[in-house]
Structure 1
Amino acid sequence: MKRTAIEHLLKWSQNEDVRPVILTGAKGVGKTYLACDFAKSFYEQFLYVNFEHDAMASELFKSKDPFKVSALLLEYYSVNKTGLSLDNLSGDRLLILDEVSHCPDALNMLAELQFTGEFHRIIAISSSPIKKEVLDLYYHIPVYPLLFNEFLVAIAKDWYIETIITHFETDKKIPEIVHKELLSLFNLYLIIGGMPGIINEYLNFDNLLNITENHMLLMGTYRSYLSNISSDSEALKMNQVLGSIPLQLLKENKKFQYKLIRKGTTHAMYKESIQNLADRNYIIPSYKITSDELSKINAILEENRLNVNELTSFKLYLSDVGILNSLISKQVKPPFNNLASKAIMENYVAENLQANGYPIMFWESDSTAKIDFLIPKDGYIIPVELFTDENTRSKNLSVLKQKTDFPYAIKISSRNFGYSKNVKYVPYYAVFCI
């Protein structure tokens, strides 16, 4: 299952700067598979260490001498289940340290370990948050659920990708028969989502019968993991937030309301839990930008003022649209109404924008107009509106234009590609191009 992130790993491996790479992302997004697949494809040998499943692995890093640690690693894993031996472990060798956050000593020694010469390159993997100042020391590659273009590769429809990109760049309509086929594949993607294990389930059985069940099993894994790494009270609050998200997004006003968790709850009681979920990539916060803040958005982003602790008006999306689709189907019987469809589509767009490195923001003007997403680009704000069908008429952009200038806007819908009156029309399946 080819991932876009492997191109980042290839670029890193060919760079003269040999600093270790750190892969981060929620459990189940394919970090370990990505690292091991990369290792098998481009290295003669690799050594895989998992600090979560091998309790003794952390003991090997008790020494402060990286040369001694390297020797201990080679000795300890000479007879491990991967079949590696001391005779094999030579030459072009990669070291993979999985769930490195479980061993702070290993995380602190990554750079020193690199220069012992025993390992040509090092990849560290973490499902837990790592401080920004630590990530900045290394090559950081965040891994997210598969976007639609990666999904097309997984289901052997990758020839569509170049066509989508070309029409996105030229704004020319795609042939209608291809457009309808892509919308159909996109609807399939919304059901399955981007978690590699769920996609494999679909490919293995060639049907959707077990998709919802597997989404629920994955959510159960998340809940169990949060319980294992947190206090009982903190785990309860994080799981309450996760459980409320479908109801939050099924409202007309999708802003997060604490009363949907339980009566009497407050921002102060849950802000840390929400931030913890965001840091672990289980949720995607989208923050409200006021009209007064539109002209100051670059300063806000530079000062990193978009966080739950400082802002009380926000939306929350799940990290994977397929999981949300399954959860909503338990509340609203398909075919979905406009509210449910809009919730799923918003979640999908938020995933794409996050994966493409954009901050997730929205704007409202005294409840008279609203823009689903704002993209900072080339010193401007690009408004993004989302529609649940081909009807893309609204007055929202004209209201926003009175507040701030923008070179063009994006409207996402089932409508074909096009560009008219400073509006770029993007079909759902091309959002990964934005």
Structure 2
Amino acid sequence: MERLILKQLLKWKDSPYRKPLILKGVRQVGKTWVLKEFGRRYYENTAYFNFDENEEYKQFFETTKDVNRIIQNLMLASGQKIQPEKTLIIFDEVQDCPKVINAMKYFCENAPQYHIACAGSLLGIALSKPSSFPVGKVNFMQIDPMTFTEFLMANGDANLAMYLDSIENIEPIPDAFFNPLYEKLKMYFVTGGMPEPVLMWTEARDVDAMQEALSGIIGAYERDFAKHPVVSEFPKISMIWKSIPSQLARENKKFIYKVVREGARAREYEDALQWLVDARLVHKIFRSTAPRLPVSAYDDLSAFKIYLVDVGLLRRLALLAPTAFGEGNRLFTEFKGALTENYVLQTLVTQFEVPPRYWSQSNPPYEVDFLIQRDNDMIPVEVKSETNITSKSLRKFKELFPEQVKLRVRFSLDNLKLDGDVLNIPLFMADQADRLIGFVLDQ
């Protein structure tokens, strides 16, 4: 499979300011594969150390901070060759190895000639603990589920991916491209972007194996919940996780604790929810009171929405059958368009540095699905999974904040077009949002 993060890794390799790398991402998103593939393509050799499989390697980091001794011991113990500048050293499953993470400081300061990449599941959890951490001595990178563009390449549709990348004007997409892209997007909603289910579908066209792969990933995540240091939090994490489809099935998708359990209070469940956010299994999107900068100053911390890391996992968790993708628009509109909204959020998170927000007011009721910050512009975003695309809330938002709104964006099943200051982006082009918005604003 082709993963676009390989280009970012190449920039890291060639950077004169390169530091040891920490690659973050949820379990089974493809961290190990990407690092090994990167080593295979761009280095003479790769030295791979898995601290889950070989726990005894941890000792080398506990007895000394001398990086040359650590390298010597790792080479002797594993029989692998390590050469400065020519070898990619991969430290995998480092989430339970604070000494290994801490050693990155000494590699950065005393041995910058070694190219080191660390990976591990639940690294977000490990890094949020107050243990000794090499602040300023590492580079971070995030790997997310495969985008729709990556799915197209894996599915043998590189021509469609190339076509999307080649678009440089806001004009309608010809039917010869529009129709197949629309059909492929339904398939993506079914598989999601986790590499194993994508592989089961794109290589074998095996729906049962793809379903099983998604169930296996969900099962692995649910087993991870037990790794919370406070045993009493485990059932709470599980209850929040299982409530997500119900939360998103509501007309107003604001997270409500009583959907988790009758009588549940925020203070009882806050830690459990934060664990899921730190693990990056869910995205937490705050309500913004106004489209002004800095964005965080206008957050209403009591109101937020929760989305899953991947649209395919959401479909599986909601027990929606894959057959839905053969039934017209049903997959896009099913449970109040929650899959569509989750998919759009998933792509926005990877394109914009500042996490999206949403905006709403209650009397009279209006809601803008997302607010994104692009450079210093705030852009309201609406997601439409129905063919009815009138945007009362986008219009109201413009009325209330005329000075702040240069452009409004709508994702829908309609074709690519600019209608006044409303840019309509077809759902299958959500990956390209940043680029398309750039075309309009530059003009």
TM-score when normalising by structure 1: 0.90
Residue 327 (structure 1) aligned with residue 317 (structure 2): yes
Cα distance, 1:402 vs structure 2: 2.3
2:294 aligns with one of 299, 303, 317:
299
C-alpha contact 2:285 2:358 (8 A) present in aligned 1? yes
- The one-letter amino acid paired with 2:385 is T
Which residue identity does 1:122 align to in structure 2?
Answer: I
Distance 1:226 1:119, change over 3 A: farther
Q: Distance in 1 between matches of 2:175 and 2:135?
A: 45
For residues 209-358 of structure 1, the aligned pairs below 5 Å read 209-290=208-289, 293-295=290-292, 298-301=293-296, 311-330=301-320, 334=324, 336=330, 338=333, 340=335, 342-357=337-352, 358=354
**What's 1:98 paired with?**
92
Counterpart for residue 376 of structure 1: 373
Shift of 1:11: 0.6
Distance 1:212 1:242 in 2: 19
SS of the residue aligned with 1:316? strand
Partners of 1:165 and 1:430 within 8 A in 2: no
- 2:18 partner SS: coil
Partners of 1:333 and 1:179 lie apart in 2 by: 22
User: 3-state DSSP class of the match of 1:382?
Assistant: strand
Residues 195-214 of structure 1 mapped to structure 2, 5 A cutoff: 195-214=194-213
Aligned to 1:81: none
Unpaired runs of 5+ in structure 2? 434-443
Change in 2 beyond 3 A, CA 1:365/1:166: farther
Cα deviation, residue 428, structure 1: 0.6
Quote the Cα distance in structure 1 between the aligned partners of 2:73 and 2:238: 40
**Segment of structure 1 superposing worse, 54-63 or 29-38:** 54-63
- How far apart are 1:398 and its partner, in Å? 1.8
Q: Is the 8 A contact 1:251 1:339 kept in 2?
A: no
Structure 2 CA distance, aligned partners of 1:356 and 1:137? Answer: 25
Tell me by how many angstroms 1:192 deviates: 0.3
Once the two structures are superposed, what CA deviation does each residue of 1:74-126 show, in whole Å capped at 9, x if it has no partner?
Answer: 11111xxxxx3xxx444611211112221111111113235665963000113
2:359 aligns with: 363
Secondary structure at the aligned position of 2:208 is classed as coil
Tell me if structure 1 keeps the 8 A contact 2:19–2:112. no
Q: Return closer, same or farther for 1:342/1:120 CA change in 2, 3 Å cut-off.
A: same
Does 2:374 correspond to 1:399?
no
Q: Do the aligned partners of residues 193 and 299 (structure 1) sit closer, same or farther apart at CA in structure 2, a change above 3 Å counting? A: same
Q: Is the 8 A contact 2:250 2:336 kept in 1?
A: no
Structure 1: 5+ residue stretches without partners: 79-83
CA distance in 2, matches of 1:201, 1:183: 21
CA contact (8 A) 2:20 2:107 kept: no
8 Å Cα contact 2:287/2:358 also seen in 1: yes
Aligned to 2:163: 163
Three-state SS of the structure 1 residue aligned to 2:49 is: strand
CA distance in 1, matches of 2:268, 2:361: 28
358-367 vs 183-192, which deviates more? 358-367
Determine what percentage of the aligned residue pairs are the same residue: 27
Q: 1:328 Cα deviation (Å)?
A: 2.4
Structure 1, residues 215-256: CA drift from partner, whole Å, max 9, x if none?
Answer: 122111101122134432122111111110001111111111
Return 401-410 or 20-29, whichever deviates more. Answer: 401-410
Contact 2:242 2:317 in 1 (8 A): no
Cα distance in structure 2, aligned partners of 1:339 and 1:108: 47
The number of equivalent residue pairs is 416
2:201 touches 2:207 (CA, 8 Å); kept in 1?
A: yes
Task: Tell me the SS of whatever aligns to 2:91.
Answer: strand
> Aligned-residue CA RMSD in angstroms?
2.3
Deviations 1:196-230 (A, max 9, x none): 01111113321323322321221111011221344
Assess if the C-alpha contact under 8 Å between 1:94 and 1:119 holds in 2.
Answer: no
State how far apart, in whole Å, the 2-side matches of 1:387 and 1:229 are: 37
Query: What's the counterpart of residue 68 of structure 2?
Result: 67
